[in-house]
Amino acid sequence: MTNPAEQTEEPPVAPEDAEMKEANGGKEDAVAEETSNPASESVTKEEEASNPASESVTKEEEASNPGSESAKNEEAAPADQTQEGAADLTCEWNHANRRVMVYGVLKYIKNKDLPKMAKKWLASLEDPNSIVITKWRKAPQGSWVVLTCETEEMASRLIKHINDNKLTNEKGNELTASKAQNLDNKRKRDGDDDGPNKKRPEPLTDDGVRDKLTPLWRSSYSDQLDQKLKTMIKRSAMRICAETKKKFLSLQREAKRNKNCKSVELYAWLKSKRSIPVLDVIKSPQQNAYRNKNEFTFGYRTEQKEGDEESKQIPSSGFLAAGWSGGVSRPHLCTNVPWEACAIQDLVEEFLQTSPILPYEAKTHCGLWRVLTIRSSKRTKECMIIIQHAPPTGGLGGVVQKEDYSNVFESEKQRLVKLLVDRDLPMVERPVEVQESHFPLRVTSIFFQEYDGLSTPPPEHPVQHAYGKMNLMEKLGDCQLSKNICHVLETHLPRNEI
């Protein structure tokens, strides 16, 4: 047994030294041994001459003693080679430490001109071939370029060369270079790190939810109309005119360069001060509870009652006002959502409190319930519900679902249908005052849609009819419309009849 205190640890080898040593095939070690003991070669030859059978005897001893040091080294060699190969493969594919960001280049340089530009930067080096650039990439109209060097040491020398020599672009502006940001750092910066130290977003207040979902709720209806009119003028009418004039200007420039191209004169209507007149927004006869289609995402909402030290995560459905990480928000705060949608959301949340099946989580791909879609008609007194869910045995994704709901899914499905259709939809209590009419309403049709993908299913994805009618009837003026689950018709009926 050796004393651990007497063992000495060799200093780590720099990546450049390791690569040079590997490229020389270990010749440096051999040269060092020969230099430290110049008589070793002659002594070895004399011993071999005096005992020609020594080599064979040594091999026989190693074969008869598999526990010897040399035998162990031979057995360990494949594992070491495997680890070295894995490390080399990792280094080969990890380009983050070899990327260099160069800022200050001209916006309109094309990617095909980047090699010539980089060659010009390297021309001032003593040996321009000492830095090898393998890849070039530049965003359209971007003032930066990403260069990938052959080694990390070359990337460091390129950064030092650009910054120390104060290289400039074609206009004489100074260039700056730095290491490209690592992908892991970018994910942490963007909030995609799911580590234990990640700071979860604070739950939104009631006003915060309304600010996200209905940003104009603080303004009066007349102010909302004025703001919408200004938005239409700025983002639609003025943008159309600007893009059209830009096209005419490019045609005129092309005509000056090319004699075969004819110059096109600007249209007369584009020469006026207000080329596209925008009429005033017509007031809607119904300003609250006008949505006849609502989609709620299944998830968890945060609730903290008085006296509770910590908040609770309650299975529910609603809007993603704070994004995927912030949970769902109930629709009761939104004045554009009708009471029947809020009543169905209450019933579904009541069902989730006692159900062993959990809501679907997009990050882990666990759980089952995904999206709740509600379509209603106040004129025909009909209501259709579509419930999208993952397969009971688990959907696609990077995380394997531990729960298998196939034994309880059918019974829970029937219990949910019974809860929704047994009686008229209950009245709801809302924290905001909404001017709307209440009337007896029942769910007339229910569909389920199984989807094992990661995003949203295509419109033609099949559904399973579970209860009631196949279509929902709607009246628009003198017309009577029949809508199924594939129809995307979402209209403001009183406004469309004006």
Q: Does residue 321 lie within any of the structural domains? A: yes
pTM of the model: 0.59
Q: Does residue 52 lie within any of the structural domains? A: no
The pLDDT value recorded for residue 395 is 62
Q: Are 273 and 329 in a shared domain? A: no
Last residue of a domain, one of 283, 304, 324: 283
The pLDDT value recorded for residue 36 is 41
Q: Please give the residue range of the domain that contains residue 352.
A: 293-496
Tell me how far apart the alpha carbons of residues 56 and 352 are, in angstroms, rounded to a whole number: 79
Q: Are 229 and 276 in a shared domain? A: yes
Among 494, 483, 212, smallest CA distance to 374 is for: 483
The pLDDT value recorded for residue 494 is 64
Question: What are the backbone angles phi and psi of residue 168, rounded to the nearest 5°?
Answer: -125, 165
Q: Are 178 and 220 in a shared domain? A: no
Q: Are 391 and 423 in a shared domain? A: yes
Distance of CA 144 to the CA centre of its chain: 24
Q: Are 464 and 354 in a shared domain? A: yes
Q: Are 157 and 247 in a shared domain? A: no
> Over pLDDT 70: what percentage of the chain?
72
The pLDDT value recorded for residue 357 is 93
Q: Does residue 61 lie within any of the structural domains? A: no
Q: Does residue 68 lie within any of the structural domains? A: no
The pLDDT value recorded for residue 88 is 45
The pLDDT value recorded for residue 498 is 59
- 171: which residues sit within 8 A by CB, 6+ positions away? 106
> Which positions of the chain have pLDDT values less than 50?
1-92, 183-197, 398
In DSSP terms, which residues pair with 386 in a beta bridge? 373, 447
Would you state the structure tokens that stand for residue 52, as one six-digit string? 């020609």
Query: CA Rg, the chain, in Å?
Result: 36
Query: What is the sign, positive or negative, of the torsion defined by CA atoms of 204, 210, 213, 215?
Result: negative
Residues 144, 101: contact at Cβ < 8 Å?
A: yes
Among 91, 181, 101, 96, smallest CA distance to 147 is for: 101
* Position 207, amino acid: D
Q: Does residue 45 lie within any of the structural domains? A: no
- 211: which residues sit within 8 A by CB, 6+ positions away? 217
CA angle, corner 435, sides to 431 and 438, nearest 5?
95
Tell me how far apart the alpha carbons of residues 179 and 159 are, in angstroms, rounded to a whole number: 8
Q: Per the structure, how many domains does the chain have?
A: 3
Give, in order, the Cα–Cα distances in Å from 88 to each of 82, 201, 415: 10, 40, 57
